[in-house]
Amino acid sequence: MILTVTYNPAVDQTITFDEPLEPEVVNRATDARFDAGGKGINVSQFLTEMGTETLATGLLGGFTGTFITDQLADASIPTDFVELDEPTRLNTTALAAGTEYKMNQNGPSVGADVVEDLVATIADRDPDRVLVGGSLPPGLTTDAIDRVTSAGSWQTAVDVSGDLLRELSAEYALCKPNREELAEATDMAVETIEACATAAASFRNQGFERVVASLGPDGAVLAGPDGVVHAKPPEVDVVDTVGAGDALLSGVLAALERGDSDELALATGVTVAAHVVEQAGTGVPALDSVFEERTAVETRWL
């Protein structure tokens, strides 16, 4: 079972406008939707759609926290969150005439005591793999992430910003930076696929068995014990990139949980991501055929 930890979840609001946004006027939206969000939560939703056993946990509070638990329950995703007094944050993405605007809140301030409550929740579930994903709320440091991976025998993956990756001190099974985060974490060039492969391979020495780097339209690379493999994404019409990195990670984790090779795992990840970018918002598309579709993904060892 893959347990996901989201320290700083969000309700994701996606608003669509037909015309460009203008200041000091009322901009009328043509569509709006709300989704349960946060990296770990997103991954649990994708895993469920792929038929992979998962449970979502983390910190939730207030009316926005209730919305998230209700939405996950409606999607038959098991949850076991630590409750906070302050409300979970609301993040907004505005899509206007081909331009994407993102407005994110910081989240509620919390104390370090909630980390031990969360660790106890994880230990009670005894998962095979744990993913810690997303930003940290005010009041927590990377010690909260290191505490999770050192608390049990599970394999821990992490998906956080590049500056946080550099501060981690524990050993991890996997990390998933995007191109910019890889550059920030390594201080290395990332202009080409080959440069990204070199940076990802180098970063393994910082305590990561595998480094999966998402490269947008260039696909993704995975640096692991067997070397570095690149996967070219399928050609699709990109509508919205929100959640693409989470989709990639969910496919990789689902395949590794099945015992698949690194090459197949990366092909699975880019297949899931291709489905997600074809739609607006962070809703979950049908993913029941990704394990068949992944065989069409072009991969190469670098």
Which of these, 243, 187, 172, lies nearest to 214 by C-alpha position?
243
**Which one from 12, 35, 246, 262 is the annotated catalytic residue?**
246
- Give residue for tokens 């590049």: 162
246 is annotated as an active-site residue: yes
Please provide the distance, in angstroms rounded to a whole number, between the alpha carbons at the two ends of the chain.
Answer: 31
Q: How deeply is 280 buried, as exposed, middle or buried, from its count of CB atoms within 10 A (0-12, 13-18, 19+)?
A: middle
What's the one-letter identity of residue 115? V
Q: How deeply is 283 buried, as exposed, middle or buried, from its count of CB atoms within 10 A (0-12, 13-18, 19+)?
A: middle
- Neighbour order of strands in the sheet with 208-214: 82-84, 54-61, 2-6, 129-133, 155-159, 172-175, 208-214, 220-224, 227-232, 298-301
Strand, helix or coil at 179?
Answer: helix
User: How many other CB atoms are there within 10 angstroms of residue 206's CB atom?
Assistant: 16
Distance, CA of 241 to CA of 187 (rounded, Å): 25
For strands 82-84 and 54-61, give the pairing. parallel
Distance, CA of 15 to CA of 33 (rounded, Å): 7
* Buried/exposed 82-118: b ≥16 CB within 10 Å, e otherwise: bebeebbbbbbbbbbeeeeeeeeeebbebeeebbeeb
Strand, helix or coil at 19?
Answer: coil
User: Which residues form the catalytic set?
Assistant: 246
